[in-house]
Amino acid sequence: MRYAHEVGKVREAEHALMARLPAGTLMQRAAAGLAAVCARLLPAVYGARVVLLVGGGDNGGDALYAGARLARRGARVVAVRAGSKVHEAGLAALRAAGGRLLDGADGAGAVRDADLIIDGLTGIGGTGGLREPHARLAALASAATGFVVACDVPSGVDASTGRVEGAAVHADVTVTFGTYKPGLLIDPGAEHCGVVELVDIGLGDDLPDPDVVAARPADVQPPEPGAESDKYRRGVVGVLAGGDAFTGAAVLCAGGAVRGGAGMVRFASVAHPVELVRRRWPEAVTTVLAPGTPGDKALEQIGRVQAWVVGPGLGTGAAAESLVTAVLATELPVLVDADGLTIVARRRALLRRPAPTVLTPHAGELARLLGAGRDAVEARRLEHVRRAAHELGATVLLKGSTTLVAEQDRPVRVNPTGTPRLATAGTGDVLSGLIGALLAGGMSALDAAAGGAYLHGLAGRLASAGPDGREAPITPQDVVEALPAAFRTLA
């Protein structure tokens, strides 16, 4: 796992470590790591034009000391000061190495012509939008042709949340110190970071439990069949999806469950979607529900399962509400998606249940569940997914450019896989079926949701990637067919 800590915890760990070390040691460690990354980016350090954008805080000091190291290797280093303050010891080190200082008003040409720009305008404590002249310098750096390297966090990005309010630096590489910060992993902040490089400065023993974690391939461990496995031991997932109006959701959700490794998929709906599922997925065991069948009677007809998926394409009328109510009244793990979320938003009391519940909303659906505005959810994704997990007593997977999975009193999981090509109707139905299969196989709600998001995002990448590395448009069915290859990458 990649572990991320919010700013307050990072500050406490830094202070604890600094109390045991000679003054300035942490800054020198950070500067050495920053300079090493910058040197690797340049074709040659000697003669390279390097510009440092420096504010008055410690990140400005990191940038100045890193610039001094590059200057001693022959780089032509210029520091552009934003505002009246500057880290005096760092500036003295830069000047001693042959570097120069310019005021912000005189730095535009240097930024434009630079081979590499180090952003040290603000640090991890920066919140809110950048003010002038910082905003102007951030815009200049973002538009420049040289490499842009952010020091700890791109200026203008909230390190703890990923919020961006106004101007912010768009970096090619972000060199962060000691631990990842949530804002480097969560959009919109993550979009500004480029490649994130972690430099170890010795905080490990002083850091508490993380606030956010991001999986690596070894961390995703779906259930594996053993010698004694049969279809029941591997997990039976029940899928209640689709209707006469939305038949595609039925086929795609069932496909996600089939390709997700379920031992058996029991699919139930009205006649037309059942017929389509039979044709596309003959291995699914299907049940035709007469229109208006009460939910409890429907579950009796379907038979025994180990987890339920309910909602995709189901509709939001009385019959659908009866099915959602019946499923949530069971003592089995349940995933609720799409139309099911609309019903739950009307009747949040249905979520008061002892068994695991996974909700998979996009921002608009989460806004309805919480009575919030969609724009607010999009701007503060971490805050709202945590709030939802707390208020709803469920495992909440917030879909979007950065998929987040939250469970009360646990670090939020950030999904590192995916592609914008997944932003098409129907891919969420595939994800629901996949997570349902993992739940039925015995994974916890948090692991199933995070693991499903990882595999789903990876399948999207595999489906869209061409032999030349370029991406092409994909359909949800392409994602279904790529799931076995995604599973194989975990071996």
Annotated binding site for K(+): 59, 119, 155
Q: Which residues are annotated binding-site positions for (6S)-NADPHX?
A: 58-62, 123-129, 152, 249, 313, 362, 429
| Tokens linked to 125 | 């404590």
Q: What is the DSSP string of 434-485?
A: HHHHHHHTT--HHHHHHHHHHHHHHHHHHHHB-TTS-B----HHHHHHHHHH
Spatial separation of the C-alpha atoms in residues 28 and 71, rounded to whole Å: 15
Which tokens go with 247?
């038949």
**Binding site: what residues are annotated?**
58-62, 119, 123-129, 152, 155, 249, 313, 362, 399-403, 428-429
Residue that is written with structure tokens 């670090």 in the block = 411
Tokens of 309: 């998926």
Asked whether the CA dihedral 291, 297, 302, 306 is positive or negative, the reply is positive
Give the position of tokens 């045991």: 20
Distance (Å, whole) CA 270 – CA 289:
5
Cα 290–Cα 293–Cα 299 angle in degrees, nearest 5: 105
Q: What is the DSSP letter of 38?
A: H
Binding-site annotation, residues for AMP: 399-403, 428
Give Cα separations from 463 to 109, 157, 226, 231 (angstroms).
44, 32, 29, 28
Would you state the structure tokens that stand for residue 194, as one six-digit string? 């480029």
Are 300 and 327 in contact by the 8 Å Cβ rule? The answer is no
Cβ–Cβ contacts within 10 Å for residue 120, how many?
A: 32
Question: Which uninterrupted H or E stretch holds 4?
Answer: strand 2-4
Tell me how long the chain is: 491
Q: Residue 321 is encoded by which pair of tokens?
A: 């509400």
Q: What is the DSSP string of 323-391?
A: HHHHHHTSSS-EEE-THHHHHHHH-GGGG--SS-EEE---HHHHHHHHT--HHHHHHTHHHHHHHHHHH
End-to-end CA distance of the chain: 17
Distance CA 140, CA 106 (A): 12
Positive or negative: CA dihedral 176, 180, 183, 186: positive
Residue type, 288: V
Distant-in-sequence contacts of 459-466, Cβ < 8 A, 24+ apart: 459/483, 459/485, 459/486, 460/417, 460/418, 460/419, 460/421, 460/422, 460/427, 461/417, 461/418, 461/419, 462/486, 463/421, 464/419, 464/421
Cis, bond preceding 133 (omega within 30 deg of 0): yes
